[in-house]
Structure formats: structure tokens, C-alpha cells
């Protein structure tokens, strides 16, 4: 062991290290025959390198935030136009407004919130500042150049350890920053808690993101706002062994803009509505529609048609009118 060499400050009573103008604690070697470096003090370049790496990630995150805002805005416009078009189409094909009233109302409500939220559109009251603490981090780095203010600078070329069997508290009256040019690991033998008052922003430039829970549930809730899940390619919501549920207090909007909406069941598919069910194919004047109403009426509209069965067709009615 080398601990018997050098010096050790020790007392059985209270002790303190006090420097009114500033304090540097360092394990960097120094040539005492030369003057202390003023333009490249201990750890100055390393801190600058870490902050520069963070600044690069901030730029990438800012671009990603702008892209996400644009995507959410485009999706909102698509939802609005889809519900407007669907409502008007149902009304035109069936000759009534009942089935389209709720869709038109929802589309109007979605369109009305344009301009709200932090991102300049609906469903975008989201944080956009990729590192609010960066200015204070840069300022503290500049102060560490000459230590002209009463700061404490602890630097080491080989690393730091802070160990205690009891609690360790790190507190700041302003901002706190952690920067690394390689990996950061946060682990806890019990609960890990993150609390933020003014937003949370997470960005991964490459490599993906994985969240797994070995036991217990996952709950994500936007208590007063909206929840957006978007993907450039495939998006999957699945239950491997039980039920997957999609619920909307007003509407559930399913849309495939270029191809098909596919529904498949191992046993049954059931559609139930309190007022009407309308199936529409084609555009106004050229398509066909089937409407089922809660008073027992079935309305089929179209230019021509065909009923082709391989077995018996039974028609019951009181009376049955075929014209």
C-alpha cells in the first residue's frame, strides 16, 4: 500500500478546509518550477469536452423535437379531415345526419384547439428546451478557469469515488448537470423515483430504447392533456395472453390512409351501436351503403347488386315487398 507515503490530515475532533476565495482539490501532477497554468487549469479541457458532446446531442434532440411536432400536427390534420369527410359521406349516402353528428363534432373540437400547447398545435403542450441547465454549466466551467469566485473544483485524471453506508445528498438551489462522454448507469436496490415540475424530455440519437418490467404493471397517464404514440415504421399494440382494449369517451378513429383496415377474429366479430351502424363504400353518388338503425330498420342503397348463395335463401316478413 502507498498510503503510508505523502501526507494525511487527521483529527479526532472537528475538522474543516476553508478557502474564502475558492478551492481547488486536484490529483493532477504539477511542475512547481513553472507558473500555474491559467488558460488550461486542471480538468478544464475535460469539462469542455463533456459539455461539447452534450451540445451536439442537444442539437440532434432539437431537430427530433421539431420533427415530432410536425408529425403530430400532420396527424391531427389527418384526423380532422378524416372525421369531417366520414361524417359528410355518411350523411350524403344515407340521407341523414344522425350517424355523422358525433364525428363532425369531434372534428370541429380537434380543429378548434389549433394554436394551443407549447409546440404550436393541438396535443403538443410538450417541453422543447433540450438542456435548460447548459448555460449555468458553461458559466461554472468558465469560473473554474481561474477560480475567481468562491467555488469548489474537484478534479482527477483517474476518477472519483464517493462511498457511504448511509445516505448521500446532492442538492442545488439552481441546476444540476451530469455529463459523460461514455456511459452513465443509475441503479437502485429499491425504488427509483424521478420528479419534474416543468416537463421531461428524453432523446436517444441511435441505438434504440428498451423498457422492461419483470413483475408488476406499467401505467402511463396524461392527466390533463393528450397521449401520442408515433412511429416511422410499424407500430404494434398487443396482449400476448389476454385482452387488448381501445376505449374512447367520444370516438375511436381507425384509419389506413393508403390501403386497408383489417379485422380478424378466431371466433366472432361483433359490431354494436346504440343508434346506427353504417357501412359505406365509394364516394357520394357512385357508392353503396348499408345502414342499420336502433328502430329495427335496414337500409341498403346502391346502383345494382347481386345476392348469390349456394344454399337456401329464406325471406321472412309481414309482408315482404320486392319491387
Per-residue pLDDT reduced to its tens digit, 224-258: 888 888 888 888 889 989 999 998 888 888 888 88
Sequence-distant (≥ 6) Cβ neighbours of residue 13 within 8 angstroms: none
Q: Please report, rounded to a whole number, the percentage of residues in the chain having pLDDT higher than 90.
A: 10
What is the distance between the alpha carbons of residues 56 and 201, in angstroms, rounded to a whole number?
Answer: 16
Within 13 A of 223's CA, how many CA atoms are on the CB side? 0
156-198 pLDDT, tens digit per residue, is 888 888 889 999 888 888 888 887 778 888 888 888 888 888 8
Q: What share of the chain is helix, strand, coil (3-state, %, to 5)?
A: 25, 5, 70
Average pLDDT of the chain is 77
pTM, full prediction:
0.68
pLDDT at 220: 87
CB 253 within 8 A of CB 79: yes
Buried b (16+ CB within 10 A) or exposed e, 269-289: eeeeeeebebebeeeeeeeeb
What is the distance between the alpha carbons of residues 96 and 90, in angstroms, rounded to a whole number?
Answer: 8
Please give the backbone phi and psi of residue 279, each rounded to the nearest 5 degrees, phi first. Answer: -110, 125
pLDDT at 117: 42
Q: Higher-confidence residue: 1 or 61?
A: 61
Q: DSSP letter string over 154-220?
A: EE-SS------SS------SS------SS------SS------SS------SSS------SSS----
What is the distance between the alpha carbons of residues 225 and 118, in angstroms, rounded to a whole number?
Answer: 12
Mean pLDDT of 275-295: 84
| Per-residue pLDDT band at 263 (split at 50, 70, 90) | very high
CB 98 within 8 A of CB 276: yes
pLDDT at 15: 92
**Is it the case that residue 53 has pLDDT exceeding 80?**
no
**Measuring CA to CA, which residue among 42, 49, 46 is closest to residue 28?**
42
Neighbour tally for 62: CB within 10 Å? 15
pLDDT at 156: 80
Amino acid at each position: 500500500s502507498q498510503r503510508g507515503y505523502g501526507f494525511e490530515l487527521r483529527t479526532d475532533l472537528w475538522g474543516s478546509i476553508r478557502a474564502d476565495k475558492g478551492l481547488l482539490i486536484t490529483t493532477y501532477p504539477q511542475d512547481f518550477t513553472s507558473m500555474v497554468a491559467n488558460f488550461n487549469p486542471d480538468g478544464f479541457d475535460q469539462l469542455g469536452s463533456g459539455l461539447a458532446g452534450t451540445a451536439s446531442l442537444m442539437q440532434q434532440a432539437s431537430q427530433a423535437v421539431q420533427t415530432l411536432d410536425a408529425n403530430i400536427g400532420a396527424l391531427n390534420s389527418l384526423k380532422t379531415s378524416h372525421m369531417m369527410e366520414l361524417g359528410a359521406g355518411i350523411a350524403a349516402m344515407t340521407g341523414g345526419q344522425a350517424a355523422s353528428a358525433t364525428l363532425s363534432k369531434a372534428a370541429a373540437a380537434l380543429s378548434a384547439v389549433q394554436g394551443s400547447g407549447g409546440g404550436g398545435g393541438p396535443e403538443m403542450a410538450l417541453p422543447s428546451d433540450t438542456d435548460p441547465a447548459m448555460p449555468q454549466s458553461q458559466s461554472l466551467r468558465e469560473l473554474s478557469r481561474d477560480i475567481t469566485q468562491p467555488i469548489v473544483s474537484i478534479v482527477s485524471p483517474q476518477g472519483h469515488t464517493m462511498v457511504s453506508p448511509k445516505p448521500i445528498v446532492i442538492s442545488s438551489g439552481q441546476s444540476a448537470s451530469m455529463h459523460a462522454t461514455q456511459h452513465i448507469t443509475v441503479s437502485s436496490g429499491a425504488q427509483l423515483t424521478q420528479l419534474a415540475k416543468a416537463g421531461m424530455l428524453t432523446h436517444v440519437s441511435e441505438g434504440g430504447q428498451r423498457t422492461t418490467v419483470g413483475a408488476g404493471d406499467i401505467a402511463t397517464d396524461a392527466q390533463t392533456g393528450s397521449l401520442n404514440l408515433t412511429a416511422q415504421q410499424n407500430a404494434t399494440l398487443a396482449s400476448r395472453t389476454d385482452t387488448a382494449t381501445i376505449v374512447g369517451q367520444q370516438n375511436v378513429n381507425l384509419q389506413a390512409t393508403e390501403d386497408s383496415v383489417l379485422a380478424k377474429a378466431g371466433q366472432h366479430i361483433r359490431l354494436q351501436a346504440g343508434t346506427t351502424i353504417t357501412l359505406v363504400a365509394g364516394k357520394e353518388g357512385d357508392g353503396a351503403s348499408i345502414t342499420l338503425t336502433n328502430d329495427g330498420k335496414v337500409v341498403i342503397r346502391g346502383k345494382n347488386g347481386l345476392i348469390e348463395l349456394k344454399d337456401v335463401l329464406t325471406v321472412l316478413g309481414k309482408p315482404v315487398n320486392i319491387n
